[in-house]
Chain A
Amino acid sequence: MKKTFISLALVLMSSVALLANNFSDILKNTVTEFDTTAGFEAKSAVLQKIERIALAEPDEWLAQYYAAYAYVFINYLAENKDMQDNLLDKGLEYLNKGIALNENESELYALLALWYSSKMGVAPAARGAKYAGKLNEALAIALAKNDKNPRTYFLKGQFAYHAPASFGGGKEAALTFFQTADELFKDSTNTNPLFANWGEYTNLEMLKTTKNELAGK
C-alpha cells in the first residue's frame, strides 16, 4: 500500500512537472528561437508565439518587452516601407503596455530609443528631425533609470557614430560610448532582469570599426 501510494504520488508529481512549464522559461526559449530563426516568414511565426505569450500575460512587463523587441528586430527584414511602419507601430503598442506596467525599467526606454531609430530609418530625410530629439529623450530616461545599462551606451554610440558632429555626434564621442558599453556588457556583476543580451556582439563590432577609423585618420 505504501509503495503504491508513493509511486502514484511520484507519477502525479512528474506529470504535473511535465505540464507546468513556467512563463519565464517558455519566454526565454521562444526568444532564443526567435533570435536564431532566419527568413521573414519563419521569424514571423516565432514572433507570433512571443505575441501570444504577451497577450496571455498582460501583467508581465517582460512579455510585453519581448513582443516589442521581436517587432523591432523583424522590421529590418520587411520587404517594403509600409510593412516596416506597420510592424513598428504594432510593436509600439506592446512597448507602451510594458512601460505602463513598469515605468522604472531602463530596458524599456532603451528599446524605445531603438524603436525611434528604426522608425527614422524608414524615411531618414523626412523623419530625421522629428525622431532624433525623441530618441535622445528616451536614452536620457533610460540612463536616469539605470546608468549601468550597456544597451543605453551602445545606442548612444550608434547615434553618435552616424550623426554629424553638429547634431551632437562624431566618431570620438561614439568611441567613448562603445567602450563604456563594452565594459558593462563584460561585467558579470552587472545584473539585469533580462536573460538575453542584445547589442553585445554589435557593440563589439562597432568598437573595433570606430577604433580603426579614428586610428586611420
Chain B
Amino acid sequence: MKTILVISAILAIVASGTAQTTIQGSITDNWGNSLPGVNVFLKGTYDGTSSLSDGTYTFKTNEYGSHVIVYQCIGFENFEQQINLSLSTISINVVMKEKADKLEEVVISAGAFEASDKKKSVVLKPLDIVTTASSNADIYGTINCLPGASTSAEDGRLIVRGGEAEETKTFIDGLLMPVPYHANLPETPTRGKFLPFSFDGMMFSSGAYSAEYGDALSSIVNLNTKDESARTETQLMLMSVGTQINREQKIKKSTMTLSGGFSHLGPYFSLMQDKVEWEKAPVNANGLIQFRTKPSENSMLKVYAQSNFGNKSIIYDNINSDNKYTIGMKTYDFYGGVNFSQTMENNGQIYAGISYMNTYENIDIVSINNNDINKYFIHTKLRYKKIFTSRISIATGAESKLEQQTIKYSSSYEKDSASETSLNINSAFVESRFRITEKIASQTGLRIESIDHEILVLPRTSLAWSINEQNMFSFAYGKYAQRLSYPENEYLEKSSQAEHYVLNYQYEKFNRVFRIELFNKTYSKLPLQSNNQITTNGDGYAQGIDIFYRDETTIDGLEYWISYSFTNTERHYKDYEKSIQPLFVRKHSLSLVMKQYISKLSSFYGISYNFGSGLPYFHKSISGYSLETTPELHDISFNYTYIFDFFMNKAYLYSSVSNVLARKNIYGYEYKNEPSENGSYERRELYNGSKPFIIIALGVTL
C-alpha cells in the first residue's frame, strides 16, 4: 500500500516535471508571403524556435500560466501577444508588418544615377570622381562619362540629353549652388569648383526628376557632403599647377574641414606651349569650410562654405580683325549653405536649409569695353516627410529662390550703362511614395511654382516594377519649367517648359549592372528671335537611347564601364532660323572607363576613352550657309596613382594625362566676313589645344 502511494507520488512529480504545452502556427508578412527565419519565443525564457521555409513553426514549452510570446525578424516590427499556457496546444497565426523605412530602400532608377554608401548599388560610387581618368578630379568630368551626358570636352559643363549647360542645376545637400563652374574665356574649357573629397554621395538625374526640385529644364545634380571625417588629420597636396592644404578636425560630436589652396598655370604653360596665348596665365585661390554636428542622436546640422578667387587674361585672335584683343577676367565668389535635418520618433523627418551665393565677374576687353557683373542668390527651403508604413510616405515642402543681378557696362565707343535684373521663384511641392504591390512602387507628386505673375503647375510621376532581385523596369514622366535668359543675363517674361518621358530597364547581379533607357522630351516656350524681337515661341524635341554596362567582378580588382548615348534632337530657338540640331549636341557619345588597383605595386591606374560624333556647324560659302558636321571627338586619358610611406606618413603620387592621342578636337569654325579671291571664305578652326594635358601631384597625410 505504502509503496503504491510512494510510486504514484514519484510518478506525479516526474509527470509534472515533463508536462509540456505545444505552441504552433504560421507566420506571413503584410503582403501575404510566408516568413521563414522568424525567431518565436516566450519572453524571459529560452523556449522557442525559428519558423521554417514555409512560415510554419512549432515548439514545446514546460512553462505554465500567463506569458508573452514574441515574434522577431530583421526588417519587421516585433510582434508580441499575451497567452495563457495550460497544457492544451495553442495555435497562433501571425501577420508581421514590414518596418516603415523599407519604403525608403525602394529604388526607382528611371532617369537617375545615385552613388552613396547606403545604396550599395554598383552603378556609381563616390570614389569614381577621383579615379576616373578623364575627369581630372572634377565631379562634372566623371558625370560626363555617364549615360545621358553627351561628351562635351570643349565646354567642360554638362550637356544632358540635348539640353544646354544652363538647363542642368547643381545642388549641395538639397540647396541650390547657382554657379558651380569656373567662369571661362572663349576657347578654353572650364571645370567644376568643387574639391573631390568634400562629398561622399551624389545623385545625377538625367531626366524626369522628383517634384522636390525645380527650375532646371534638363537635369539636376545633387551632391551630398560628407557626414563626418574619418579622423583628425592634415593633408598637403603639391601639384604641378598649385598647392592645396586640408585639415580635418574632430571636436567631440562634430567634425570640421578647412581647406585652402592656390593654383598658377603659368609655369605649366610656359613649359608646355598651349594653343591659347596667355597674357596672364590663370591664377586661382580657393578656401573651404565644412562643419557638421549632431545636436541630438537623430538630428544633423551641416555647414558648407567655399570661396574662389580667379584672375586670367588671354590675347585673343579674331579672324576678322587685324589686331589682337587682350581679354582679362577677374572673378570672385562666395557660396555658403546651412542645413538642418531631424528624424522624429513617429517617422517624421524635417529639413530646413538656406544657401547664399555672391559672384563677381569683371571682363575687360582692353581698350574696348568692360563688364562688371555682380550676382546674388538666396535659396531657402523647408521640407517635411512622414513615413506612415512600409507602404506609403508623404513629403511636402516649400522653397523660395531669389536672384539679383547688377551689370555695369563701360565702353570706349558707347555710352556707359547699368542694368539690374531680379528673379524670384516661390514654389511648393507635395509628393507621395507608395507601394501598390510588393513589387510595384510609385512616386507621384505635384509642384507649383510662382514667378512674377506666372503660375506653373507641374505634375511628376514615376513607377518601378521589380520583377525579381535582379531585374527592374521603371518609368517616369514629368513637366518641367525654367526661366531662361536670352540674350545673356536678360530673363524672359515667361518660363520655358519641357515634358519628359523616360522608360528604363535595369539588370543587376553580383557587381554587374546593365541598363538601357529610352527618353522623349518635348520643349515649348523656348526663347526665339524673329524680326529683332524676342518671343517665347521656340520649340524643340529630344529623343534617344542610353545604354550602360558596368562590371567590377569578372577580372579581379578591375572595374570598368561602357556608356553609350544616342540623342536625336532639334530645336527652333534663339537665333536659329529653322528647327535644327543644336550646335552643342553630339548625336553619338561613347565613354569607356577602366580602373584597376594592383596591390603588388600599391597603385591604381585608370584609362578612359571618350568619343563623340561631330558637332553641327554652319559652313559659310558663296551660296550661303549650309549645315555640316565637325570631325569626331576622340580623347584618351590615363591616370596613375602610387601609394607609399613618406617618413611614417601616408602619401600618394598622382599623375594624369588627358588627350594622350594629342588630337585636335575641333568643335567649330570661325569664318572671315569677306570672301577671298577664289570665292570661298577663309576659316579658323576652334579647338581647345591639341597637346596632352599633364597633371602631377604629390599628396601627404601628416
Contact = CB atoms under 8 A, between A and B. Distances in A.
Given A44-B37, A52-B41, A166-B643, A86 B17 contact: no
A164 B643 contact: yes
A91 to B, nearest CB: 11
A45 B75 CA distance: 17
A15 B644 contact: no
Interface residues of B, number: 43
Interface residues of A, number: 39
Contact of B50 (A12, A48, A80, A85): A48
Interface stretch (B6-14, B81-89, B168-176, B332-340): B6-14
A166 B46 contact: no
B44 A41 contact: no
Interface string A24-53: 001000000000000001001100110111
Contacts of A49: 46, 48
Nearest to B232: A133
Contacts, number: 87
A52 B74 contact: no
B126 A126 contact: yes
A82 B102 CA distance: 12
B392 interface: no
A127 to B, nearest CB: 7
B117 A166 contact: no
A11 B10 contact: yes
B45 interface: yes
B602 interface: yes
Please classify the interface of chain A as helix (H, G, I), strand (E, B), loop, or mixed, using the class held by over half of its residues: helix
A53 B387 CA distance: 34
A68 to B, nearest CB: 14
Contacts of B200: 126
Nearest to B115: A126
B39 interface: yes
B550 to A, nearest CB: 14
A56 B13 contact: no
Interface in B211-247: 230-231
A8 B10 contact: yes
Given A41-B53, A56-B45, A167-B650, A19 B74 contact: no
Contacts of A51: 39
A87 interface: yes
Contacts of B645: 165-166
Given A15-B17, A41-B37, A166-B643, A53 B126 contact: no
Contacts of B117: 123, 126-127
A90 interface: yes
Contacts of B50: 44-45, 48
B46 A86 contact: no
A7 interface: yes
Given A125-B125, A126-B127, A53 B37 contact: no
Contacts of A12: 13
Interface string A176-199: 000000000000000000000000
A55 interface: yes
B36 interface: yes
B626 interface: no
B37 A18 contact: no
A122 interface: yes
Interface string A51-64: 11101100000000
B120 A129 contact: no
A159 B39 CA distance: 34
A212 interface: no
A130 interface: yes
B48 A52 contact: yes
Contacts of B37: 41, 44-45, 48
B532 interface: no
Contacts of A80: 469
Contacts of B602: 164-166
B13 A15 contact: yes
A48 B230 CA distance: 34
Interface string A149-187: 000000000000000111100000000000000000000
A208 interface: no
A93 B298 CA distance: 17
B323 interface: no
List 10 tightest A-B contacts by C-beta distance, closest first.
Answer: A48-B39, A45-B50, A166-B645, A133-B231, A81-B120, A129-B230, A48-B50, A166-B650, A52-B41, A15-B17
Interface of A: 4, 7-8, 11-12, 15, 18-19, 26, 41, 44-45, 48-49, 51-53, 55-56, 80-82, 85-87, 90, 122-123, 125-127, 129-130, 132-133, 164-167
Given A53-B46, A81-B120, 14 more contacts: A7-B10, A8-B9, A15-B14, A41-B36, A41-B53, A51-B39, A56-B45, A86-B75, A87-B74, A123-B117, A133-B231, A164-B643, A166-B645, A166-B650
